[in-house]
Amino acid sequence: MRYTKHEITAPGDSYLNDPYGLRRFATERTYKPSPLPYTRMVDLADLQAKKANLKKTSTNVLLEDGSVVIEERTSDGNFVRRNGGTSRRAGFVIDLNPDLQIAECCEGLFLGSQDAARELEQLKKLKITHVLNVATGIPNFFPNEFTYKLIEAFDLPSMRLIDYFDEAAEYIQRAINAGGKVFVHCNAGISRSSTLVLAYMMKVRGFKLEAALEAVRKNRKIAKPNPGFMQQLLTYEDQISCSKPTNN
């Protein structure tokens, strides 16, 4: 029997016309793009409706003078303030009066705040010759009148003020040995400056920490090193004790 080209052609692709089945393969491998991930379109009207249903809030702000203002956000996103009266809540009270006290802690050594550091006539009256400034952002007000030393320290428990104890004590003692008087101040005259005064009294004058603190507070009742500084003073007290020669 004789076969013709037409007779041997099977349904589908012809072997003779496509001996390797490339057309069939290409058809089976036709690229089908992956569907894009579903993304929800933002409905502006829906968004505005939800915004309109948001609960309005207000914030009470306590000012330094004890007055209260109420802050509220308007529909356009801005803030408005209105008077909220005077707060009667218990809490700290900021004393806006200047602290002009210059307290003598021991012979030749005085302690106070930055307010007192501005009082030229008062400093001269006490015959101050040297100033130890332990504040941040407070300038040496009268460089032509006094000898200054600046130790910029933050009133933070983590601040290593102990690294400056010896340096401060030596500065104070040199001034006193030369017949001078030293005024030590920070911002408030409570923590940083009192810490360096206590360190000096322990290192040079031989005070124990408890006795030095008692002596300082006789004239400067608000003197109070922060907890971190107190711990450093205790460490310093131990270092001083260990450095003293022992009698065999």
Please identify which of the residues 105, 106, 186, 242 carries the catalytic annotation.
186
- Strands in 79-86's sheet, in edge-to-edge order, are 58-62, 67-73, 79-86
9 phi/psi in degrees, rounded to 5: -80, 120
Of 105, 112, 101, 103, whose CA–CA distance to 134 is shortest? 112
Task: Using DSSP, state whether 106 is helix, strand or coil.
Answer: strand
CA distance to 172, 208, 241, per residue, from 204 (Å): 10, 11, 12
Is 242 known to be catalytic?
A: no
Rg of the chain, C-alpha, whole Å: 40
Catalytically active residues, by annotation: 186
